[in-house]
Amino acid sequence: MTNPAPAITLDTLDITDTRLYVEHGYPWGAWDLLRKEAPVYWYQRPGFEPFWAITKHEDIGFISRSPDLFSNTQMLRLADTESLRIGQRARVRNANRYGGSPDDPPDFIFMDPPEHREHRSAVSRHFTPRTMRSLEAHFEELAENYVSRFADSIVERAQKDQSSGVVDVVHELAAKLPVAAICEMAGIPEEDWDQIFHWTETLIGAGDPEFRRPGESQEQAMRRSNGEWRQYNESLVEQRRQTGLGKDILSTLMQAEIGGQKLTPKEISAYFTLLVAAGNETTRNSTTGGVKALLDHPEQLEHLTDNPEHVPAAVEEILRWTSVVIQFQRTAMEDVELRGRTIRKGESVVLWYPSANRDEDVFEDPYRFDIERDPNDHFAFGGFGEHFCLGAHLARWEMRAILHALLPLLPQLELASQPELVSGSLHVGGIKRMMVRLATGTHEQ
């Protein structure tokens, strides 16, 4: 993740072509240019509805704090027009099958206050620091186990191949704790965790042919995966109806009352899907990106191994550095002036979080990876305000646990190849595979 300096101009820059993301990584140079020359930029490109590209930390902060001016209820994630059509058809099918209207909010992120607050608070007690403290020892134990299995598999692989033991960080390490944590909190039995992981991978990665079955289109893969997941989800609900409710998140959702009304089965399912999916992908990618960042900056890694008390600050810097969530979208509810431009009522604004996380007005020397950066007011969990990530505490606790457990092993590892990126998503910057091996000189031949 360096700052390349190709000759780009406002007229030619492209921040929406997902193929470019896969080939070159995030368009840091384009975002730099936008922040400098056109921080509120009317972006018009084929295949996308035009929108205002918002790239400054301050402006994303203002919009995030102003849900009365900028609504979540219309467009939430920028996508090409074809993906939007697929999404709209899914809404219609869901309404036909489960009742309600295609225009109902698919989940509570699509709501504005006051509805949003009521829905969010239905499960918020599962994500408080107090709940995390009660789970901390357990997370640490899980993290130790996963890291030790990861280390074993490197050694096994090395012995078997007479090589340095090439192993994938994504599937053999980074994916483990996020799945385990959210599944345990949701009361999902351990034998189903692999399946859950597979579903969330398809839900988010359906744009990438690797996550589809042979001959399947993006839409077919999503339909299949959604259908299987819904069915599984309903079986969990049914089980609780028969054998009684527990202390898990799903039980909480089944009891929740909002405005004196219980949630409908469709709402429960959507809410639960959001929690499970959001809890998996993001933390996995931040963890993988964090391993890469530390291996790319050996002096920072050495400093951290010597001073493990910096792990929490290092996690914040990893969150800023990797900026896994690329954007969310809002719709202006009235005309708003911003940096001399007029955003008209009904127009859409897209908040580019990775750009905010490299804003030179907020972060000194933003392209320097610094595990002691302080303050570090990054927007990795979204802008501050109404929709700040509900799972932020959970994600932090998980990443701290993994990093603590991994720290003794990390200096012995090196990247065996550059990470392979998930294609087709303009929402989450996913890493599909990242191979590491024992560094030269640290393994016996």
Partner 1 sequence: MKVQIDHTLCEGHAKCMDRVPEIFEVRDDDRSYVLLETIPTHLEEDVRRAAAVCPRAAISCVDDD
Distance CA 84, CA 346 (A): 18
- Which residue in 161, 262, 388, 418 binds partner 1 (CB under 8 A)? 388
Question: CB of residue 132 vs partner 1: minimum separation in angstroms?
Answer: 10
Residue closer to partner 1 (CB basis): 22 or 275:
275
Q: Are 347 and 41 in contact (CB under 8 A)?
A: no
- 129 near partner 1 (CB under 8 A): yes
Q: Are 315 and 414 in contact (CB under 8 A)?
A: no
Residue closer to partner 1 (CB basis): 78 or 390:
390
Look-up of token digits 């979080």: 353
- Which residue in 20, 25, 65, 409 binds partner 1 (CB under 8 A)? 65
Residue closer to partner 1 (CB basis): 80 or 316:
316
Question: CB of residue 123 vs partner 1: minimum separation in angstroms?
Answer: 12
Phi and psi of 433, rounded to 5°?
-150, 140
Distance CA 214, CA 117 (A): 42
If DSSP codes are grouped into helix, strand and coil, which group holds residue 250? helix
Listed ranges 99-107, 200-208, 385-393, 415-423: which one lies at the site for partner 1 (CB under 8 A): 385-393
Listed ranges 57-65, 147-155, 275-283, 290-298: which one lies at the site for partner 1 (CB under 8 A): 57-65
- 385 near partner 1 (CB under 8 A): yes
Residues in 298-327 that interact with partner 1 by CB under 8 A: none
Residue closer to partner 1 (CB basis): 147 or 314:
314
Listed ranges 71-79, 134-142, 163-171, 386-394: which one lies at the site for partner 1 (CB under 8 A): 386-394
Look-up of token digits 């200096």: 411
Which two three-digit tokens encode residue 214? Answer: 């042979």
Question: CB of residue 24 vs partner 1: minimum separation in angstroms?
Answer: 31
- Structure letter (DSSP) for residue 247: S
- Which residue in 166, 392, 407, 435 binds partner 1 (CB under 8 A)? 392
Question: Which string of b and e fits 308-334 if b means at least 16 CB within 10 Å?
Answer: eebbebbbbbbbbbbbbbbbbbbbbbe
Q: Are 416 and 166 in contact (CB under 8 A)?
A: yes
Closest to 44 measured CA to CA, from 92, 88, 81, 91: 81
Sign of CA dihedral 214, 18, 358, 345: negative
Amino acid, res. 281: E
- Which residue in 27, 39, 61, 289 binds partner 1 (CB under 8 A)? 61
Listed ranges 2-10, 143-151, 285-293, 380-388: which one lies at the site for partner 1 (CB under 8 A): 380-388
- 381 near partner 1 (CB under 8 A): yes
- 393 near partner 1 (CB under 8 A): yes
- 128 near partner 1 (CB under 8 A): yes
Distance CA 388, CA 427 (A): 16
- 121 near partner 1 (CB under 8 A): yes
- Which residue in 386, 400, 422, 437 binds partner 1 (CB under 8 A)? 386
Residue closer to partner 1 (CB basis): 65 or 157:
65
Question: CB of residue 127 vs partner 1: minimum separation in angstroms?
Answer: 8
Question: CB of residue 106 vs partner 1: minimum separation in angstroms?
Answer: 23
Look-up of token digits 């039995």: 189
Q: Kindly give, in sequence order, each residue whose CB lies less than 8 Å from that of residue 159, ignoring residues fewer than 6 positions away.
A: 165
- Which residue in 3, 239, 245, 384 binds partner 1 (CB under 8 A)? 384
Residue closer to partner 1 (CB basis): 362 or 406:
362
Distance CA 406, CA 102 (A): 45
The CA–CA distances, whole Å, from 233 to 109, 145, 223, 255 equal 20, 28, 15, 16
- Which residue in 162, 375, 444, 445 binds partner 1 (CB under 8 A)? 375
Question: Quick one: 102 exposed, middle or buried, by C-beta within 10 A (0-12, 13-18, 19+)?
Answer: middle
Question: CB of residue 60 vs partner 1: minimum separation in angstroms?
Answer: 13
Question: CB of residue 382 vs partner 1: minimum separation in angstroms?
Answer: 9
Residue closer to partner 1 (CB basis): 110 or 127:
127
Task: Number of residues interacting with partner 1: please give it, by CB under 8 A.
Answer: 19
For the residues of 34-100, what is the DSSP string, one character each?
HHHH-SEEEE--TTS--EEEE--HHHHHHHHT-TTTEESSS--S---HHHHHHHHHHHHHHHHHH-S
Residue closer to partner 1 (CB basis): 173 or 256:
256
Residue closer to partner 1 (CB basis): 13 or 54:
54
Question: Quick one: 409 exposed, middle or buried, by C-beta within 10 A (0-12, 13-18, 19+)?
Answer: middle
Beta strand ranges found along 89-234 (DSSP E): 167-168
Q: Kindly give, in sequence order, each residue whose CB lies less than 8 Å from that of residue 68, ignoring residues fewer than 6 positions away.
A: 112, 113, 333
Residues in 397-426 that interact with partner 1 by CB under 8 A: none
Residue closer to partner 1 (CB basis): 129 or 246:
129
| Footprint of partner 1 (CB under 8 A) | 61, 64-65, 117, 121, 124, 127-130, 375, 377, 381, 384-386, 388, 392-393
